[in-house]
């Protein structure tokens, strides 16, 4: 009996200490969780990365607590860690694509080539960034479709971000007939862009003859606008030029049609 008690006491002590460590550890982690959430929520960290960061911190603390409890129970943590590493390696092979997307998500959240609300073009798609998740980035197209792009491919390909700069250049090309007066055309185009309220004065608008086409003389117009005014200015100028050309009797050649005669 004494021998049994002698053997049982250390085991009971280890179990009791392990349970105590587990309980206290969970309480401490819960307390840290509240501090971490409050600190991250009040920080300037991107809103998309906040949930991921919280989960990583608390998850790591829980893993460390479990290893500590196992160590108190007398289990060799070396083999336990090796087992975790082996399982992690196997899972990594099975989810290689997901790990690539995970790494891509970390890069996107760290380097921030795009942010929520930016209008971007990437992987053959264009739209407004709705969310940057840890595995996928969500784009909303102009016709309100949601596209999920894997972060792995997104982080390894070119991204065109139209929202980073405050201003953008709008380019136009207008064709007129060879019989039209070039000075009149340039004067009308300059007047149109000068009178548009959303066209910036600096840099100065560019209006020049740029090409002698087969059926038309081409004029290039380049103006600078605030990024948010890009499409407003684009459509306004297109409409106004047509109306003014008609009013000034400036001819706009019809596009040449290819006529195919069927051989019988």
Q: CA-CA distance, 61 to 50, in Å (whole number)? A: 17
What is 113-161's CATH number?
2.30.30.60
- At 18 the pLDDT is 78
What is the tens place of the pLDDT at every residue in 209-232? 999 988 899 999 999 999 999 999
**What is the C-alpha separation between 237 and 243, in angstroms, rounded?**
10
pLDDT, position 92: 54
For residues 253 and 175, give the distance between their C-alpha atoms in angstroms, rounded to a whole number.
7
Low-confidence ranges of the chain (pLDDT < 50): 93-95, 258-264
CATH number for the 167-247 domain, one of 3.30.70.100, 3.40.50.720, 3.50.50.60, 3.40.50.150?
3.30.70.100
Please compute, for residue 158, the number of CA atoms within 13 A of its CA located in the half-sphere on the CB side. Answer: 4
Residue with tokens 């047509």, as numbered in its chain: 242
pTM of the shown model: 0.58
- Per DSSP, what are the bridge partners of residue 225? 168, 199
If we measure between CA atoms, which residue out of 256, 259, 250, 198 comes closest to residue 223? Answer: 198
Please report the pLDDT score of residue 260 as a whole number: 47
Question: CA 25, 29, 30, 35 torsion: positive or negative?
Answer: positive
pLDDT at 264: 41
Pick one of 3.30.70, 1.10.287, 2.60.40, 1.10.3470 as the CATH number of 2-94.
1.10.287
pLDDT at res. 56: 73
Q: What is the pLDDT of residue 47?
A: 62
Domain ranges of the chain: 2-94, 113-161, 167-247
Residue 82: per-residue pLDDT: 64
Residue 159 and residue 127 in contact, taking contact as beta carbons nearer than 8 Å: no
Q: How far apart are CA 103 and CA 205, in angstroms?
A: 44
């Amino acid at each position: 009996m004494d021998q049994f008690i002698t053997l049982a006491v250390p085991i009971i002590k280890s179990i009791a200490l392990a349970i105590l460590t587990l309980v206290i550890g969970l309480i401490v982690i819960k307390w840290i969780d509240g501090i971490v959430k409050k600190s991250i929520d009040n920080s300037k960290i991107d809103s998309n990365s906040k949930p991921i960061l919280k989960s990583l911190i608390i998850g790591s603390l829980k893993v460390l607590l479990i290893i500590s409890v196992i160590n108190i129970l007398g289990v060799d943590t070396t083999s336990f860690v090796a087992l975790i590493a082996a399982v992690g390696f196997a899972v990594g092979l099975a989810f290689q694509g997901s790990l690539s997307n995970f790494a891509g998500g970390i890069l996107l959240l760290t380097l921030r080539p795009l942010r929520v609300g930016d209008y971007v073009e990437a992987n053959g798609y264009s739209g407004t960034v709705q969310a940057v998740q840890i595995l996928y980035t969500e784009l909303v197209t102009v016709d309100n479709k949601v596209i999920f792009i894997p972060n792995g491919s997104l982080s390894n390909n070119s991204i065109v971000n139209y929202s980073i700069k405050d201003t953008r250049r709008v380019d136009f090309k207008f064709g007129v007939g060879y019989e039209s007066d070039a000075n009149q055309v340039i004067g009308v185009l300059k007047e149109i862009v000068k009178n548009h309220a959303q066209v910036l004065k600096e840099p100065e608008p560019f209006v020049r003859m740029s090409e002698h086409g087969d059926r038309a003389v081409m004029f290039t117009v380049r103006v600078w606008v605030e990024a948010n005014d890009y499409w407003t200015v684009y459509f306004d100028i297109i409409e106004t030029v047509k109306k003014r050309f008609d009013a000034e009797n400036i001819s706009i050649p019809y596009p040449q049609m290819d006529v195919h005669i069927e051989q019988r």
